[in-house]
């Protein structure tokens, strides 16, 4: 993902906010359907969406898949600590994280650990094989601490955006 210019929400008007909220909740809608929901002509809606893409506010589109229906029953959050000498080779570490399909997200964090990973696997046996055969073997990994999710109480990709009062 390439970095984008930060766009303040105050640069977005109420119609932009309505378009973004509609896209976040109903990304499968056509431009005409979105324009009807935000009370704007299809041409103006399309122009605004293109401009939001150009500004980097909209960074892409994807379908949200149900991991359990696809046989990925284990969801885990993994804290990873790297050898401090490895920090000179962060690019290499980042390539390793990108090469692991089980890793859905990898965040550099503050605190006791260096990275927080969101990982999926078919079952606990496969998760153990991932930890022992891939993650722990990655260059510079000193420690790994996992928390397996027992239930998902809330999961969303929708960001909380709203129009600013003027």
Task: Report the distance separating Cα 78 and Cα 146, nearest Å.
Answer: 4
CATH number of the CATH domain containing 42: 1.10.10.10
| Domain match, 126 and 73 both | yes
| Domain match, 87 and 45 both | no
In a domain, 2, yes or no: no
CA nearest neighbour of 156 among 7, 59, 27: 27
Residue 93: what pLDDT?
85
Q: Number of folded domains in the chain? A: 2
Residue-number span of the structural domain to which 103 is assigned: 68-148
**pTM, full prediction:** 0.83
| Domain match, 92 and 30 both | no
Task: Report the distance separating Cα 38 and Cα 133, nearest Å.
Answer: 50
Rg of the chain over Cα atoms, rounded to whole angstroms, equals: 20
Q: Mean pLDDT for each 10-residue chunk of the chain (166 residues)? A: 51 93 94 96 96 95 93 98 80 91 97 96 98 92 96 93 67
In a domain, 46, yes or no: yes
Residue 6: what pLDDT?
55
| Domain match, 93 and 132 both | yes
């Amino acid at each position: 993902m390439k970095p984008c210019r930060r766009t303040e929400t105050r640069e977005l008007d109420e119609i932009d906010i309505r378009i973004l909220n509609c896209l976040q909740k109903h990304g499968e809608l056509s431009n005409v359907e979105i324009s009807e929901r935000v009370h704007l002509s299809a041409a103006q809606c399309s122009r605004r969406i293109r401009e939001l893409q150009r500004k980097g506010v909209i960074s892409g589109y994807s379908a949200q898949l149900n991991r359990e229906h696809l046989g990925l029953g284990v969801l885990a959050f993994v804290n990873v600590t790297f050898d401090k000498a490895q920090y000179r080779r962060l690019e290499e570490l980042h390539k390793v994280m990108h090469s692991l399909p089980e890793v859905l997200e990898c965040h550099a964090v503050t605190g006791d650990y260096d990275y927080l990973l969101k990982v999926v696997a078919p079952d606990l046996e496969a998760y153990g094989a991932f930890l022992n055969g891939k993650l722990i073997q990655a260059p510079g990994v000193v420690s790994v601490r996992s928390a397996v999710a027992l239930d998902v109480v809330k999961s969303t990709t929708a960001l909380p955006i709203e129009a600013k009062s003027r």
